[in-house]
Amino acid sequence: MISSTQRAQGALAALGIDSTRLAPYIDGHFQRDYTGDYCAVVDPATEEPLIEVADGQPADIDRAVASARASFESGAWARRRPSQRGQILNRIALTLRERAEHLAVIETLDVGKPHAEALADIEATARYFEFYAGLADKHGGRTVPLADHLVDFTLLEPIGVSGQIIPFNYPAQNTGRGGAPALAMGCSVVLKPSPDCPLNPLLIAAIATECGVPAGVFNVVPGGVDAGRTLSSHPGIDQITFTGSVATGKEVALAAARNVTPSVLELGGKSPVVVFDDADFELAIAGVSGSIFSNAGQTCAAGTRLLVQRSARGEEFLDLLVERARSLTIGEGIEGATLGPLVSKRQQERVAAYLEAACEGGGVVLTGGGVPDRKGYFVEPTVVEVPNNKHRLAQEEIFGPVMTVIRFDGLEEAAEIANDSEFGLSSYVWTKDIDKALSLAKRIRAGQVNINTFEVGTGIEIPFGGFKNSGWGREKGIETLASYTQTKNVCIGLNTALTR
Ligand code: NAD
């Protein structure tokens, strides 16, 4: 039986890494002679170590910011012709695709997700680089019509050094999501991945160098809270993109505000999934179960609150959902399981605490509700019906494979329940009635409304971000480019003596 350690070593060797330790990636290389501490990165499905990775400290962040700053000021990337930056980003996309299988193995072992999902993640990561490669030489300023004696235009300049802090759940995709647009606009980057899942961010930074991104432009420092705090409060960065929980996001925003550093916050969610009686159940059941059970529910935009219409058809839908949940195979993602583990023991314990509270206040567990007695940080796929939306399981972000079910009668009530949340990240509506679907779409307060669809790992082209406590700013799409550029206005007076 091949161990997780052997699998990781095999994939890393195929990716050109023959070391048993990965140091921070600064100034175009893994730091040689790194003297800091290392931590073992563990496969959450087997609890076996994969490789040791540096536990980056504030001094490492300082070094990375200095490197990013020097690379930015040199103009080697920021002042390069945008089409040439685009060519290099396209090369990164191509390389990611060529190495997709090995990178997906790493993603599966690092996060625990099913291999098919990891492959989709690597493709999405390649798409980020490809999409922003195409925009590098198309995102320009405008001319402003003023008085006859004036000519006015805007320049969109790279904002500078972008600090990026990402969570554990989509390390490859999040590296592309923030990294690719920043690079396309000419910024330099310091990215701090989660200490739980730092592997692909480090590997992608090395690929960027290999493909022609100059040294110092793309730095990755793995580390924990101290490293994160140092980055978000660093006076040497010009912008910060944070993806993670609401509590950490508030801290990051406060730290950034002290330096007047603009921030993008992509935070948590408790996204409603409204299923009307007239929905196409065959389509809906695949989408609804995908939206809660992919990545074992560890997705910010997961559809975690199922609002199902009170009727015989509604009952039928719930039966189908329970049946679907029971059909999932729990196990190692690398072996083809359809439900992997949670990322860590800590995350498993957190979700288990919610499961213990499930039956409080009238909650009824329809399926699952436990932690399987096996190695690895698994949680059973769970569906819990709660009496109303005030129940704790309907209000708090659980971040596990736990669907909360609430009944509704009509469209008005569905809208009220959907909006009764501190979050507003995403939402899903399933109905064949376009009138109902669009009426609800206009009422729901969330950054995204998905009607009769749920696509995992796609949507690079679509703006993404939250209302309310789910954050501010937008990533993805053309919209994110505003975060990585500064607008400079240039106004020219023409022969003013004659015209005044
Ligand atoms: P987290 O907030 O615990 O950590 C996120 C990142 O912040 C990690 O890299 C962590 O090391 C770092 N960090 C922790 N404390 C910090 C501090 N005080 N200052 C600076 N950095 C700090 O989140 P997590 O558990 O890794 O991820 C799960 C959360 O992320 C969920 O709430 C989920 O909804 C959210 N998320 C949001 C999106 C989105 O796009 N909206 C996407 C993925 C995940």
Q: Which CATH superfamily is domain 271-468 in?
A: Aldehyde Dehydrogenase; Chain A, domain 2 (3.40.309.10)
Concatenating the DSSP letter of every residue in 265-288 gives EE----EEEEE-TTS-HHHHHHHH
Q: What is the identity of the amino acid at 424?
A: G
Distance, CA of 158 to CA of 15 (rounded, Å): 31
Write out residues in the chain with pLDDT < 50, as ranges.
Answer: 500
**Is the Cβ–Cβ distance between 289 and 322 less than 8 Å?**
no
φ, ψ dihedrals at 394, nearest 5°: -90, -15
User: Treating both helix axes as pointing N-terminal to C-terminal, what angle do 246-258 and 225-232 enclose, rounded to 10 degrees?
Assistant: 40
Cβ of 251 less than 6 Å from ligand 1: yes
Q: Decide the pairing of beta strands 263-266 and 471-472.
A: antiparallel
- Pairing status of strand 450-451 against strand 428-430: parallel
Would you say the CB of residue 269 lies under 6 angstroms from ligand 1? yes
Q: 267 CB less than 6 Å from ligand 1?
A: yes
CB distance 163 to ligand 1 below 6 Å: no
Beta carbon of 300 within 6 Å of any ligand 1 atom: yes
Q: How many Å is the Cα radius of gyration of the chain? A: 24
> 169: CA distance to ligand 1 center in Å?
9
Q: What local confidence, expressed as pLDDT, does residue 1 receive?
A: 85
Give the CA angle between residues 67, 73, 76 to the nearest 5°: 90
Distance, in Å, from the CA atom of 117 to the CA atom of 409, rounded to the nearest integer, reads 35
* Spatial separation of the C-alpha atoms in residues 269 and 323, rounded to whole Å: 25
> Which ligand 1 atom is at minimum distance from the Cα of 192?
9
C-alpha span between 186 and 484 (Å, rounded): 8
Quote the CA–CA distance of 227 and 178 in Å, as a whole number.
18
Residue spans of the domains in the chain: they are 4-140+163-182+190-229, 271-468
Is the Cβ–Cβ distance between 462 and 301 less than 8 Å? no
Residue 487: count other Cβ atoms within 10 Å of its Cβ. 12
Atom of ligand 1 lying closest to residue 194 CA: 9
Pocket flag, ligand 1, residue 243 (CB < 6 Å)? yes
Q: Which atom of ligand 1 is nearest to the CA of 475?
A: 40
Alpha-carbon gap, residue 168 to 343, rounded angstroms: 8
| pTM greater than 0.85 (yes/no) | yes
Class of domain 4-140+163-182+190-229: alpha beta
Q: Do strands 423-424 and 467-468 pair parallel, antiparallel, or not at all (unpaired)?
A: antiparallel
Tokens of 234: 């660093």
Kindly list the catalytic residues: 266, 300
Q: Tell me the C-alpha to C-alpha distance, in Å, between residue 473 and each of 39, 141, 153, 455, 484.
A: 33, 20, 25, 22, 12
Query: Could you give the CA distance from residue 378 to residue 371 in angstroms, rounded to a whole number?
Result: 6
Ligand 1 mutation pick, 113, 232, 246, 248, max ligand atoms within 8 A of CB? 248
Q: How many other C-beta atoms can be found within 10 angstroms of the C-beta atom of residue 420?
A: 16
Do 244 and 164 meet the contact criterion of CB atoms below 8 Å apart? no
Give ∠ CA 161-162-166 in degrees, rounded to 5. 150
HSE, side-chain direction, 13 A CA sphere, residue 246: 17
CA of 36 to the centre of ligand 1 (A): 24
Contact indicator for 421, 266 with CB cutoff of 8 Å: no
Concatenated DSSP letters for 384-413? EE-SSTTSHHHHS---SSEEEEEEE-SHHH
Q: Tell me which residue has its CA closest to atom 32 in ligand 1.
A: 245
How does pLDDT run across 84-138, given as a tens digit for each residue? 999 999 999 999 999 999 999 999 999 999 999 999 999 999 999 999 999 999 9
For 292, how many CA atoms within 13 A lie in the half-sphere containing its CB? 31
DSSP state of 31: P
465 Cβ contact list (under 8 Å, min separation 6): 264, 266, 425, 447, 471, 472, 473, 474, 475
- Start-to-end Cα distance in the chain: 86
- Torsion angle of C-alpha atoms 306, 307, 309, 315, degrees rounded to 10: 30
